[in-house]
Structure 1
Amino acid sequence: MKTTYTFTKLFLLVAIFFAAVSCSENEKEVVVEPEFPEEEVVSSVTPNGETVLTFSANMNWEVTSSAIWCKFANGSTSMKGEAGDISLSLTITEDAWSVEESVVEITLKMGSEEKVIAKYTRAGKAPVITNAEGEEYGEENPIALAYTNNGVSGSFSFIANYDWEIKNENLPEWLKISENNSQMGGNAGESVLVTFEVAKNFWANAQDGNVVIKAKKSDVSVSIPVSFSGIPEGVIAVDGINGTAFWWKISADGKNLWKDGAESEKLMFPLSFNAIAKDNAYTVVKIEEDGGFMWVNDESHSFLSVEDDNAGNVVLTAQENTTGKERLAYILVMPQKLFDEIKEKADANGGVYDNILLNSEGKDLIESKYDAYVALAFKQEGTSAAGGFKVLKYGYENIPCSLDKTSDMSRSIATEYGISPESIYSLSVESSVSLTINPLLSEWNYECMGQTASGNEMMIGNGIEPTELEGAPAVMVNSTETMYVIFISNDAQMKALIINVE
C-alpha cells in the first residue's frame, strides 16, 4: 500500500509540471506587438478650426501633441484610449500664434514604443504694420513725404505684429533713414517713430518706391509704398554752401573766400554748389558792382565767372580786384519763369533793372522780395595782394610785378621815403613802352622820379597823365630809362614801383 501511494504522488507531480509548461507556452502565444501607421500624415491647418486625426491601434494607446496650439477633444495636449479604429478631433487655437509658420507633431505610444504619426503646419498670421492710430499701411495709406522749408523729411510711427527692423539697403536709393533716428526696429506691438529723409540730389523730381520692413529672425516682410512729390514748382533750394548767403568775403586776388568774420576758415575758388528746382527749371543770375553801379548778367562788367550745366551743378570762379575799392556781387538762383518775367520788364525799360530787380536806381541792393533767392552775397577786398600793382602794356597786355626788397634802388627808396620793403615792387620792360599803372590804393596821389642807376634825375618820356584802368584811376608812363613811381594814399599808405628799362 505504501508503494502505490508513492507512485500516485509522483504521477501527480509530473502532471502538474506538464500542465505548468503547457500554460507557459499558451501565454507566449498571446503577446501583442504594437502596429503603427506605415506613413506620417502631413497637413496644413488654420487656427479656430478642427482637424480629425484617424488611426488604428491594436493595443491600448496614448497620443501627445508637441504644441500648445494643437489640443485634443479633452482640452489637453495628450489623450489615452483602448485598441480599435480611432478618430480624434484636434482643435487648432491661436495660442503663441505669430507671423512665422509652426509645426506640431502628434506622437502615438503603444506599449513601450512610440512614433510620430502626424505633422500639422500652422500658417503664420498675416504680417501687419499700422500707424499710431491703428491705420494699416498699404496702397490706401502709403508713406508720403513732401518738401518743406527745412528740406525733405518725415517721421512715421510703426506698430507691427512681429519683431522687425529697417535697413537702408531695403529702401529706394533716393530714401534714407535719418542719422538722428534712435531706433531702426522694434518688437511686436511696440510703437516706434522712424524719420526718413530724401537725398538732396533727388529733390528735383517726384519719386516712388517701397519700404521693406523685415522680420528680425525670418524671411517675413511687409512692403509699404513710399512716395515723394518732388520740390514744388517755383521753389528753389541750394545745396553745398556751408553757411547763410550773407555775407562772404573774396580776397582781392580772387583766389580765396570765407564767411565774413571767419578769416581762419578760408576756402579756395572754384566754388561748387547745387541748384535744385523742379525739372531743373532754374537760372543763375549775377549782379555785380562795377564803376559804382550794379550790373545784371553783364559780362563786360563782371568779375565772377559762372559755369552751369543746367542740371543743377554750378561752379563759380573770381577774378582779381583791380579797382582798389571793395565791390559787391550777388549770385541768385531763381525760378526760370520768374526771371523771364523780370527780364521782360527790364528789356521794356531799355535793359535797365532799376526798380525791377534792383532798387535805389541800381546803386544799392536788390529788391528785398528777391532776397530769398540769394545763394551768395559777396564783398571783394579792394587791394590786390597779387603783385601789388595792376600794370598794362599798351593798355591791354598784363605785365607781372614782383616784390623787390634787395636791389640798390629798392633799398634807396626804402631809406629815402620810409617805405616798407614789403610795399616796393618792380617790373622790367623794353625802352619806350607805354605803361598804364594802377597802384590798387584808394584815393591816391603820386610822385614820379626818373633816375639812372647813378642817381641822376631824368625827364620822363611823354610825361605822366591821369587815365583809367578798367574803371579805376591810373597813371600812364612812357620811359626810356629806369625810373620809379611813388604812390601815396590819403590814409598815408605808400607803395613804390620800379620800372627797369632794358
Structure 2
Amino acid sequence: MKDKIYFLRFVVLAFCLVFVACSDDDDKKQGDPIFPEVQKISCAVGETVELTFNANMNWKLSSSALWCKFVVGGELMNSCSGETGEQTVAVSIGDDATALNKSYKAEISLWMGADKKVVYEITRPSTGYEVSLLDENDNPYTEDNPATIAYKSSSFYVRANFDWQLAEWPDWIDADITSGEAGEQSTNKLYVNIQTEYTKNANEGFLTFVNEAGDKVATVPVKYEGIPEDKIEFSTDDNKWNWSFTVDGQFYSNSGVSGGGNLEPMPLNISIVAKNDKYVIVFVEDDPEWGCTRVQTEYGGTTWFNVEDDKKGNIQLHVDENVGKERSGYLMAFPVLKYDMIKDAFDDNVFYLEEGTDKPYMMRSDYDDYIVMRLTQEGQKVEGGLSVSVDGTGEQLEVFSYADTGGELTEEQLIEKYGTASVYMLYLENNRSYNLIVTPGGFTGWSLEANTMLNGVETKWDGVEVTGTWVDSAAVSIYGIGENTAGEMVVTIMDGTNGNIVSVLIISRFG
C-alpha cells in the first residue's frame, strides 16, 4: 500500500512536469515577438507614406522626430497601436525643424511585449536654397521663358526660402530693390528699369541671386525687346521748353537745365531714339498773332530753323540770323507709326483754337511727348530806342521814333515838352487789352522808374499800372490797358539811380 501511494505521487509529479514543459514550449512558440527587418526610406516634406509590417502580437509604433507623425483617424499622432496581423500605417512628413542644406532622420520603433526594435529609418532630404522670379499669376520665369522687361520699367515678384540679395544684373537695367526676406510666403516685388541710354535696342541678360553668405543661388534670364514702334525719345527730354538763340543764330542757351543760361556755340546736337530709326521731323512756327502753323518743308516750305539728319537718330539744329522781331517755334519728331495716323489732318489733330476767344492756334498738350524743343530767337534791337513786347506771349510790337512819324515838334521843343528828345510812339489796336514790357535799348543801369505825369498833369489811362522793374535787363511794366481806351498815354522812363530821363513813350489807339 505504501508503495502504491509513492507510485501515485510519482505519476502526478511526472504529469505536472510534462504539463509545465508543454506550457513553456507553447509560450515560446506564441509569445516571442517576431520583428521585421529594418527598412530605410526617403520622404520629402508634405508627403504621406504607408508602412506595412506583420505583428505576431499586440503592437505599438513610436516616432523619434516631431516632423514624422502617424495618421490616425485623420489626426497626426506621435504613436499608434494595434492587434496581431498584417498592418498598414500612414506616416505624414512635416516641415518642423527645417534648416536649409541639412537632412533629417526619424526612427520608427515597433514595440511588442516588452521588446522594442527600430523597423523603419525615414530620411527627409535636405532643403536647398530656392528662389523664383514670378509673374503676376505666380508663374516662374525659366530659361525657356525669360522675364520680359517692358519699355521703361517692369515689376516682378520674388519668392525665396532664404534672405536673398540681387547681386548682379545687366548694365542696361537698374534694379530699385536689391534684397528681400524669407518666410512661408516670402513674396517681394522687384522693380526693374531700362537705363536711358539702352531704351532703343533689344537686350538679353541674367539676374543673379545670392544668399547672405554671398553664395550664388540662382540666375534668372531677362530680356528687353527694344523701344516700341509708337514711342520716341529725345536727348532734350529733361528740358525741352527753355531753348533760346541769339539774333545772329550762332549761339544757344537753356535756362532750364543745371548750370544753364550760358551761351554755347551752334550747331546744337540732338539725338532721337525710335524703333529702327523710323521717325519724321516736323517744323512748327508759333506766331503771336496767328499761333502754331506747320511748315511743310517736304513740299518746299521754308523756316528759320532747320536740321541736318543722318537718318540714324543724330541731328544738328541750325538757326538763321533774325533781321526782325523775336520769334518762336517748335521742333517736333514723330515715330512713323504715329505720324501716319495724323499726317492727313496734322493741324486739326495737333493744334486747337479755343472757342469764343481771339487766342491763336495752340499746341495740344497730348502732343508734348513729340516736342523735341521749343525755340525762341532774339529779335533786332535798336540802340537808343525802345523794345516793347506783350507780357506772357512775347509778341514784339512795332515802335516808331517821333521823327519817323512826321511830328511837327523840333528836337528843342521835344526837350522842352517831355524833358528829352528820345520820344517814341506806340500804336495799339482797339478792342484788345494789353500788358506791356518796355525795355530801353542800350540802357546799362540797374533799375528804371516810370511815371505818367506831364507838366503836372496825369496822362495815364484809367485802370493802368505803370512800374519800373529790377531785373538783369531793366524794363518798365505797363499793365491793364483796357479795350477802347481813347487818346494818348504818356509814360516817362527814368534811370532809377539818378532820375535822368531815358526816354518817353507815347501810346495811342488806332483802328
With normalisation by structure 1, the TM-score equals: 0.45
